[in-house]
Amino acid sequence: MILEKQPYYVNVETGEVHSDKTVSSFEFEIEATSEEVNRLTKLFRACDEAARGTFWRSHVPYVPYHNDLDNHRYDQALKDIYQFIHDHGQPLTREHIESMRILD
């Protein structure tokens, strides 16, 4: 069974993915199957979990950002989200993400 790709609208800040662009504000438009959207939702969940780890670490002022595993996990989770959006994005979406240089 082949799942058909449909347009979805993504808000990275809130971690929302909707099939109806009028439901909420969005930043990016992607084409994805429902399985791919589930994968993106899991990426958002992983990013949220990593962000919670950085909260606790922020109370330890002597650990430099670049030596902090929790910050690295958060950065990588966010990059994974943007890579997914880039890979599934419309041309304007891909162009915008490339202009952000977050995937470099």
Q: What is the pTM of this model?
A: 0.87
- pLDDT level of residue 1 (50, 70, 90 thresholds): low
Question: Is residue 9 very low, low, confident or very high in pLDDT (cuts 50, 70, 90)?
Answer: very high
pLDDT tens for residues 65-104? 666 677 889 999 999 999 999 999 999 999 999 999 999 8
Tokens matching residue 94: 């891909």
Q: Where are the domains of the chain?
A: 6-100
> Is beta strand 16-18 parallel, antiparallel or unpaired with respect to 28-32?
unpaired
Tokens at 62, concatenated? 């002597």
